[in-house]
Structure 1
Amino acid sequence: MTPVSKARAAASAAVALALHGLVLRPMMLTWGATREEAARSYPGDELIPGADSSSTMATTLPAPPSEVWPWLAQMGCDRGGWYSWDRLDNGGRPSADRIVGEWQGLEPGQRLASVPSGRAWFTVAVLVPERTLVLRADTRLPSGSPIDAFHGPPPVAFVSSVWGFHLEPAGADTRLVVRTHGRSRPRVLTRPMDVLFWEPAHFIMQTRQFHNLRARLARAA
């Protein structure tokens, strides 16, 4: 590669990075949310003090909160799935396309399997029926093994995060705001992973979940 070609490649990379940082990344992290929604604090934010990553995505669903809530209440790989790309997050098993009564019981502290094997899970951290559902996951790195809670100093390498679903009436519809809040160490390694992998992955999975929830509610109506 000639010096001119190298300079052009470096300039192209710099432009691409700037475009991602100034336009694409902010758009992904606040997809569908209003400025007010993105700026607000939500229940569950306080569970991750010193959070160094966050996103706020939102959509309007064609049903009142009382009809949206049962779909959220039955989430989990060991229950109704996650309504996203099932081959990626549910072991290929289709997510539920109906409300199942036996999956409606949800309690604070309950574990919801995040992988089909059940070796990792979310814990129900905040629960206000028809209003708020916050799921928490604490993971040791690099093993990926769950940590129930931090008692004393955290591990040297870890990820601690919440995934919150917040419902608000919007006429006959529901405004669903999904807030993530996370903290991880060592940041010199986890920040590149956040920007290059976890944030795009969350965007892809969350927008798919929005789409599938909207479709299920429309069919039910």
Structure 2
Amino acid sequence: MARSIIETFSAIALIKIHVLLGRPLRKWRTTWGTTAAERQRTYPGDELLTDPKWSYSHAVTINAGPSEVWPWIVQLGQGRGGFYSYQALENLVGCRITNVGEILPRFQHLEVGDAIRLHPKAPPIPVALVEPERHLVLFASDAGSGEATVWGFHLLPLEGGRTRLIERGGSTHGDSVRSRLAFGRMLLEPISFVMSRKMLLTIKDSASASRHDRAR
């Protein structure tokens, strides 16, 4: 309980820092963990958002193969495996998230068109592309409002049975103030970064620990 409270206040403090120092920290925030080659590379799903108002690429190296990392990716979602981030903070805004520390067999299959929820009252994000152990891309758009969001996970195998996990996402917004606040980079980008960084590091630790446990 105490650890959860500390993590929640730490996350809130980090978000405030990124909001206040939005411009100076922007390059680091939108390229965290990636190499120049990874940022320039085209990934499946990039074509879905042709004119993003903001976008990012994050990455971690995981001491586990793609087949060991994929189960943690495919079960992401509200009402599924959670998002492995700051659970208490997510639940403060009504997300009703439970982050699991294990692989859940019932959530190991996704198909194009399946819906992943971030919040029980928010519209779900459909699965636009799924290639097991390689790519998972979520995409939602609303032509009427001009709003669109893409969120992708890409697993690249490395030597030694390791994986490079690339997270790439972005959004565009309409002209209204509400749309700019909800989908613009001023607030969404800092919040997304703090939550995503925690998520990637948790996936890294979880997949690596699972491999270690099986090797014992």
Is TM (by shorter chain) over 0.5? yes
Contact 2:53 2:185 in 1 (8 A): no
Aligned residue type for 2:130: L
Structure 1 residue ranges (4+ consecutive) displaced by more than 6 angstroms after TM superposition: none
Identity of aligned residues (%): 35
Contact 2:79 2:97 in 1 (8 A): no
- 2:127 aligned partner: 124
- 1:74 aligned partner: 75
Contact 1:165 1:176 in 2 (8 A): yes
Cα distance per residue 1:63-114 (max 9 Å; x no partner): 0000000111111112111111112336454311111111111111101121
- 1:164 aligned partner: 152
How far apart, CA to CA, are the structure 2 residues paired with 1:105 and 1:94? 19
User: CA distance change for structure 1 residues 93 and 179 in 2, over 3 Å: closer, same or farther?
Assistant: closer
Which of 194, 200, 210 aligns to 1:210? It is: 200
Contact 1:84 1:205 in 2 (8 A): yes
Contact 2:116 2:125 in 1 (8 A): yes
Structure 1 residue 180 corresponds to structure 2 residue 169: yes
> Unaligned regions of 5+ residues in structure 1, if any?
1-16, 139-146, 148-153
Which of 92, 99, 102 aligns to 2:103? It is: 99
User: CA distance change for structure 1 residues 64 and 74 in 2, over 3 Å: closer, same or farther?
Assistant: same
Aligned residue type for 2:170: H
Q: How many residues align?
A: 187
Task: State the secondary structure of the residue aligned to 1:125.
Answer: strand
> Unaligned regions of 5+ residues in structure 2, if any?
1-18
How far apart, CA to CA, are the structure 1 residues paired with 2:185 and 2:149? 15
How far apart, CA to CA, are the structure 2 residues paired with 1:109 and 1:94? 23
Structure 1 residue 113 corresponds to structure 2 residue 101: no
Query: How much has 1:45 moved relative to structure 2?
Result: 1.1
Specify which structure has the higher proportion of helix: 2
Contact 1:78 1:118 in 2 (8 A): no
Task: State the secondary structure of the residue aligned to 1:127.
Answer: strand
Structure 1 residue 135 corresponds to structure 2 residue 123: no
- 1:53 aligned partner: 54
Contact 1:109 1:124 in 2 (8 A): yes
Task: Tell me which structure has the larger Cα radius of gyration.
Answer: 1
